[in-house]
A = this chain, B = another copy of it.
Amino acid sequence: MNSKTQAKYEARAKIIKAMAHPTRLFIVDELAQRGERCVCELTEMIGADMSTVSRHLAVLKEAGIIADDKRGAQVYYQLRVRCVLNFFECVESVMQNNSRERAKVLN
């Protein structure tokens, strides 16, 4: 694989990697449903340290998946790219395939 091809896949992987964490998937899902949320609201829902949540948000923002909007002392985050929601559909179908496959093995 040449270095240009390598770079192409690294750039893609970086964005997918930003989605590859349960807390970050929760955040994306939540923002998709509610439009926007501030860090304190998300922290409350997630139940982790606020600094941890802030770091997850930074990862998603750095990847370009969410955008931040400072309003007073709060920072509100919103989804910038809706198409990442398509990931969920596909993931669900993979999981369904998997459980079907496992059921088959047991017979």
Please give the residue numbers on chain A whose beta carbons come within 8 Å of chain B beta carbons, in ascending order.
1, 5-6, 9-13, 15-17, 19-26, 29, 45-47, 63-65, 80-81, 83-84, 86-95, 97-98, 101
State whether A22 and B26 are in contact (beta carbons under 8 Å apart), knowing that A80-B97, A81-B90, A81-B97 are contacts in the complex.
no
Q: How far is the CA of A90 from the CA of B63 in the complex (A)?
A: 12
Considering the complex, give the chain B residue whose CB is closest to the CB of A5: B26
* Contacting pair B47 A26 (CB below 8 A): no
Chain B residues, Cβ within 8 Å of A95: 11-12, 15, 64
Chain B residues in 8 Å Cβ range of A97? 64, 80-81
Residues in B neighbouring A23, C-beta threshold 8 A: 9
Give the CA-CA distance A101 to B16 in the complex, in Å: 19
Given contacts A93-B81, A95-B11, contact A87 B16 (CB under 8 A): yes
Given A9-B22, A16-B16, A63-B94, 6 other A-B residues pairs in contact with their CB atoms under 8 A: A1-B46, A13-B20, A15-B91, A16-B19, A81-B97, A86-B87
